[in-house]
Amino acid sequence: DTGVSQDPRHKITKRGQNVTFRCDPISEHNRLYWYRQTLGQGPEFLTYFQNEAQLEKSRLLSDRFSAERPKGSFSTLEIQRTEQGDSAMYLCASSLEEYGYTFGSGTRLTVV
- 53 in contact with another protein (CB under 8 A): no
Residue 59 CB neighbour total at 10 angstroms: 5
Residues 72-101 that bind another protein (CB under 8 A): 91, 93, 95, 98-101
Residues 19-38 that bind another protein (CB under 8 A): 31, 33, 35
The separation between CA 12 and the C-alpha centre of its own chain, rounded to angstroms, equals 16
Size of the site for another protein (CB under 8 A): 25
Beta-strand ranges (E) seen in the chain are 5-7, 10-13, 19-24, 31-37, 44-50, 53-57, 65-68, 75-79, 88-95, 102-103, 107-111
Q: Which residue, 80 or 102, has its beta carbon nearer to another protein?
A: 102
**Residue 35: CB minimum distance to another protein, A:** 8
User: Which stretch, 14-22, 66-74, 76-84, 104-112, contacts another protein (CB under 8 A)?
Assistant: 104-112
Q: Which residue, 14 or 97, has its beta carbon nearer to another protein?
A: 97
Residue 110: strand pairing partners: 12
> Residues 13, 19: contact at Cβ < 8 Å?
yes
DSSP 59: T
Residues of the shown chain interacting with another protein in the complex, contacts defined by CB under 8 A: 4, 31, 33, 35, 40-45, 48, 55-56, 91, 93, 95, 98-106
